[in-house]
Amino acid sequence: DIQMTQSPSSLSASVGDRVTITCRASQSIASYLNWYQQEAGKAPKLLIYAASSLQSGVPSRFSGSGSGTHFTLTISSLQPEDIATYFCQQSYSLPRTFGQGTKVEIK
């Protein structure tokens, strides 16, 4: 199975800050990388697919980049409604493994 590792595990930032979350794959997965947002008590929501494609309806302050084994999710200007846990997931092979999550809080 492909292992996905996210960093940091949690972060605290101020409203308006630029926030970056990193995801690394244990082997090359080309651009087969998705990002999800999960608010407390809710189901995950797809943000980014194919490493950098924004899902319909997702605010443009979210962006994804990377390929191979190194990927990033960036929130260009953190908003209060972005408080959530973010997960990366590889879709290169089955099982489609997730990273352990990054919890984003407001400072």
Check binding of 97 to other proteins (CB under 8 A).
yes
Check binding of 87 to other proteins (CB under 8 A).
yes
User: CA separation (Å) from 62 to 1, 18, 48, 52, 101?
Assistant: 28, 10, 8, 10, 16
Check binding of 32 to other proteins (CB under 8 A).
yes
Widest CA span in the chain? 38
- For residue 28, the Cα-to-chain-centroid distance in whole angstroms is 17
Of residues 72 and 91, the one with the C-beta less far from other proteins: 91
Check binding of 22 to other proteins (CB under 8 A).
no
Of residues 55 and 72, the one with the C-beta less far from other proteins: 55
Check binding of 53 to other proteins (CB under 8 A).
yes
Of residues 18 and 70, the one with the C-beta less far from other proteins: 70
Check binding of 44 to other proteins (CB under 8 A).
yes
Of residues 15 and 50, the one with the C-beta less far from other proteins: 50
Which residues touch 102 (CB under 8 Å, ≥6 apart)? 6, 7, 8, 9, 10, 11, 21, 85, 86, 87
